[in-house]
Chain A
């Protein structure tokens, strides 16, 4: 494989990503405009049209640019976006970029530990299963995996809050109440840890099983391979063979699963954020949808799509780098 080919492959994938994002934006724009009601209806809720007056309604719509034909609204949005302007939120009457960046930061605070938990727990349990293939511990891990996939996230979250926040009072129940101004670095770190650990665990819950299964499958194959046998014969300790030699090779298919799941995790924070009242991007989308704040809906959805698409792109590139056998066509 030449570097040229790789570069071409990456360029091609990036181009595809841009196209995907473009199509996504049109799709979201059309579909949100198909939803009944707009920001003005919400603002005037409970007042009859006669009392507000047709021309007032028209003027309020015009203020938001809602009187323009859809394609013009979209083009205005697109032109602004290309100039780096995410627009102004209807509900907050404030620029969107700072609102979103703070929410993304918060969501990443949740997602990063979740991803780490997923990788560590998934890999370890997968390897342990593989070493003990067919034994009780393997079966228990596989059953636990099924169990984790079978519990609705809203229930896990609710149970965590019920036990740890309400009954035991261990964790602050809401992220918004953290006030680090009056805390030492250590205190604020432990506070953040306590706030983030349970939502992160909840998010990681579903994905651990995937990573674990994939690791188990590829490790079983690796452990039966010749080089493992050779290494063992040469007297390399078993643990080292498993955790270093075999895992290194067995990781390849797992990496794709992990990268794919990162996109899922970011996208999957929505319901967890709702359950934990967490001020991340997921809660922002839901609020924007409920309030028909189209610029905010577009911006948040685009960001989520972007993260998803990029993590998939990374998975593809990583996979092609790690696996010389793949063709770039």
Chain B
């Protein structure tokens, strides 16, 4: 079964667990969750941005569920196994599973849904996130076989992610208006741009601790409130019971309120400074200047300019972990402890700049966006640090649409924002493999490619770990992405909400929460 994953990842993330007095479980009630912006779509294969996840996570189930330790737990699949060096996988489905219209969920539905995710025209964001699937075969009504293109051990975790959710074939055309649920809730109402209300799905097939069907609460509301301050005020007044994400600046205020509980901790999310080796060179532009970050000494110099603790205090109000310029966080079992985060060293940075042939007072343009919190703050802080070393950084703030269109992958120097992924492979490969779907720095290192390709199918854990450690070393030394920190994430709930646990990917499984009345 999922032995390897459990072994490797078991209980490794530091989880801020909240100790509650021992209440006995209660059912019923309405749970309202305050989020920044409204649910945009109910089609689980087309969601963009975290706000829609809240609905699709609870309307549609997955084969597995990723728990707080990033292990795959059974959901629609009761168990699974693999053979042939993790190329052929078999999943057994829960025989009681039904859609909200009473129809059985079968292997055919799984095949249909996963194939839809694998079609990049149907799910342009999803198809990169479900593992190297070659073919899906229906063995019988409750058994499905998944054949991969290569050895890959983390498939069960990928199948518990955001996209590979199970939908009903007959529901395709009106999935946005009358979704047929496979998850714990069904849709009561959805106002585009407004509140989304979900109610208990009577056909849901997983049981709670009391032996009765999940979910515990009767109703789950997703309430968009744009300003974080207003969300907190709504929570304090009892109008909502949870807020998904509190601004770092407000955490100290929330802590003072006895009736609230902060649920959160470390995440693998980070905000890199991206030094692009292959930017788009506009006509008439200076090629040499655009590709200046191919200068290794310059990249190294920049990595020494950064005062990591100061940036954490400024951009995250202190709620973060110092990072060492590669994307695997220190609390991850694969983290390479030999790579120490660089300390700010202006003298060394100046020396490196000189060696790189960069004159004092040279101007660089750093692109950033207001679209993601913390990015422009970290850029502003960096600007002052670079100035000490004699570089002039001009910050250009753009809106998020411009950022994706004209900036990302295209400009030499920008700040990025990544939320962190469930598997080690998905945390590194898309961003640093030369074929990666999100290789924003355009790093192209054959040695790194080889390590990443080999490691994801390597079943010997020690060898695997060594390969990933080496990959981290290469990434960190390349300085193509200067990663100053990993972000913490905090949700806030009222004392009435029980069973709330911090999930490193900031997933919430609302069916497992219960309210005391």
- Would you give the shortest CB distance from B274 to chain A, in whole angstroms? 11
Interface string of B88-115 (1 = CB under 8 A from A): 0000000000000000000000000000
Establish whether residues A173 and B225, one from each chain, have CB atoms under 8 Å apart when the complex forms: yes
Decide if B192 is an interface residue (CB 8 Å cutoff): yes
Residues in B whose Cβ lies below 8 Å from that of A45: 48, 400, 403-404, 408
Pick from B176, B227, B230, B438: contact of A47, CB under 8 Å: B438
Decide if A37 is an interface residue (CB 8 Å cutoff): yes
Decide if A221 is an interface residue (CB 8 Å cutoff): no
Decide if B191 is an interface residue (CB 8 Å cutoff): yes
Establish whether residues A165 and B176, one from each chain, have CB atoms under 8 Å apart when the complex forms: no
Decide if A187 is an interface residue (CB 8 Å cutoff): no
Decide if A186 is an interface residue (CB 8 Å cutoff): no
Pick from B128, B192, B401, B439: contact of A290, CB under 8 Å: B401
Pick from B120, B226, B402, B435: contact of A52, CB under 8 Å: B120
Residues in B whose Cβ lies below 8 Å from that of A173: 225, 229-234, 237, 239
Inter-chain CA distance A56–B230, complex, in Å, is 40
Establish whether residues B400 and A290, one from each chain, have CB atoms under 8 Å apart when the complex forms: yes
Decide if B26 is an interface residue (CB 8 Å cutoff): no
Establish whether residues A94 and B192, one from each chain, have CB atoms under 8 Å apart when the complex forms: yes
Number of A-B contacts (CB under 8 A): 152
Inter-chain CA distance A29–B400, complex, in Å, is 20
Establish whether residues A42 and B195, one from each chain, have CB atoms under 8 Å apart when the complex forms: no
Main secondary structure of the interface of B (DSSP, over half): loop
**B428-444 residues at the A interface, CB under 8 angstroms:** 435-440
Inter-chain CA distance A43–B444, complex, in Å, is 26
Q: Contacts A36-B405, A47-B128, A48-B438 given: A279-B233 contact, CB under 8 Å? A: no
Name the CB-closest residue of B to A278. B226
Establish whether residues B240 and A177, one from each chain, have CB atoms under 8 Å apart when the complex forms: yes
Decide if A305 is an interface residue (CB 8 Å cutoff): no
Decide if B236 is an interface residue (CB 8 Å cutoff): yes
Establish whether residues B226 and A274, one from each chain, have CB atoms under 8 Å apart when the complex forms: yes
**B1-45 residues at the A interface, CB under 8 angstroms:** 32, 34, 37, 40-41, 43
**B174-217 residues at the A interface, CB under 8 angstroms:** 176-177, 191-195
Decide if A235 is an interface residue (CB 8 Å cutoff): no
Decide if A59 is an interface residue (CB 8 Å cutoff): yes
Most buried by A among B176, B194, B231: B194
Residues in B whose Cβ lies below 8 Å from that of A42: 48, 400-401, 404
Q: Contacts A165-B230, A292-B401 given: A103-B120 contact, CB under 8 Å? A: no
Establish whether residues A93 and B232, one from each chain, have CB atoms under 8 Å apart when the complex forms: no
Decide if B307 is an interface residue (CB 8 Å cutoff): no
Establish whether residues A102 and B124, one from each chain, have CB atoms under 8 Å apart when the complex forms: no
Residues in B whose Cβ lies below 8 Å from that of A174: 34, 223, 225, 230-231, 233-234, 239
Decide if B125 is an interface residue (CB 8 Å cutoff): yes
Name the CB-closest residue of A to B42. A93
Decide if B399 is an interface residue (CB 8 Å cutoff): yes
Inter-chain CA distance A205–B195, complex, in Å, is 30
Decide if A41 is an interface residue (CB 8 Å cutoff): yes
Establish whether residues A176 and B48, one from each chain, have CB atoms under 8 Å apart when the complex forms: no
Decide if A287 is an interface residue (CB 8 Å cutoff): yes
Name the CB-closest residue of A to B37. A287
Residues in A whose Cβ lies below 8 Å from that of B177: 94
Name the CB-closest residue of A to B39. A92
- Would you give the shortest CB distance from B271 to chain A, in whole angstroms? 13
- Would you give the shortest CB distance from A87 to chain B, in whole angstroms? 13
Decide if A166 is an interface residue (CB 8 Å cutoff): yes
- Would you give the shortest CB distance from B153 to chain A, in whole angstroms? 23
Establish whether residues A177 and B193, one from each chain, have CB atoms under 8 Å apart when the complex forms: no
Inter-chain CA distance A183–B237, complex, in Å, is 16
Establish whether residues B120 and A161, one from each chain, have CB atoms under 8 Å apart when the complex forms: no
Decide if B134 is an interface residue (CB 8 Å cutoff): no
Establish whether residues B193 and A92, one from each chain, have CB atoms under 8 Å apart when the complex forms: yes
Please tell me the number of chain A residues within 8 Å of chain B, measured between CB atoms: 49
Decide if B406 is an interface residue (CB 8 Å cutoff): yes
Establish whether residues B408 and A46, one from each chain, have CB atoms under 8 Å apart when the complex forms: yes
Establish whether residues A284 and B193, one from each chain, have CB atoms under 8 Å apart when the complex forms: yes
Residues in A whose Cβ lies below 8 Å from that of B176: 93-94
Decide if B468 is an interface residue (CB 8 Å cutoff): no
Pick from A49, A166, A176, A283: contact of B233, CB under 8 Å: A166
Establish whether residues B226 and A277, one from each chain, have CB atoms under 8 Å apart when the complex forms: yes
Establish whether residues B194 and A102, one from each chain, have CB atoms under 8 Å apart when the complex forms: yes
Inter-chain CA distance A93–B40, complex, in Å, is 8
Residues in B whose Cβ lies below 8 Å from that of A49: 409
Inter-chain CA distance A254–B402, complex, in Å, is 45
Inter-chain CA distance A3–B40, complex, in Å, is 52
Residues in A whose Cβ lies below 8 Å from that of B48: 42-43, 45
Interface string of B448-461 (1 = CB under 8 A from A): 00000000000000
- Would you give the shortest CB distance from B36 to chain A, in whole angstroms? 9
Decide if A51 is an interface residue (CB 8 Å cutoff): yes
Pick from B223, B399, B437: contact of A176, CB under 8 Å: B223
Establish whether residues A44 and B409, one from each chain, have CB atoms under 8 Å apart when the complex forms: no
Inter-chain CA distance A71–B425, complex, in Å, is 46
Inter-chain CA distance A136–B404, complex, in Å, is 58
Decide if B224 is an interface residue (CB 8 Å cutoff): yes
Inter-chain CA distance A35–B400, complex, in Å, is 12
Inter-chain CA distance A173–B234, complex, in Å, is 5
Interface string of B355-381 (1 = CB under 8 A from A): 000000000000000010000000000
**A28-66 residues at the B interface, CB under 8 angstroms:** 35-38, 41-49, 51-53, 56, 59-60
Decide if A311 is an interface residue (CB 8 Å cutoff): no
Inter-chain CA distance A53–B408, complex, in Å, is 16
Q: Contacts A93-B176, A166-B233 given: A48-B125 contact, CB under 8 Å? A: no
Establish whether residues B404 and A37, one from each chain, have CB atoms under 8 Å apart when the complex forms: yes
A residues sitting closer than 8 Å to B (CB atoms) are 35-38, 41-49, 51-53, 56, 59-60, 89, 91-94, 99, 102-103, 161-162, 165-166, 169, 172-174, 176-178, 274-277, 279, 283-284, 287, 290-292
Report 11 cross-chain contacts, Cβ distance below 8 Å, ordered by A residue. A42-B400, A48-B409, A161-B229, A169-B237, A173-B229, A173-B232, A173-B237, A177-B223, A275-B227, A287-B37, A290-B371
Nearest 9 Cβ contacts at the A-B interface: A173-B233, A37-B401, A37-B405, A51-B437, A177-B239, A92-B192, A45-B404, A277-B226, A173-B230
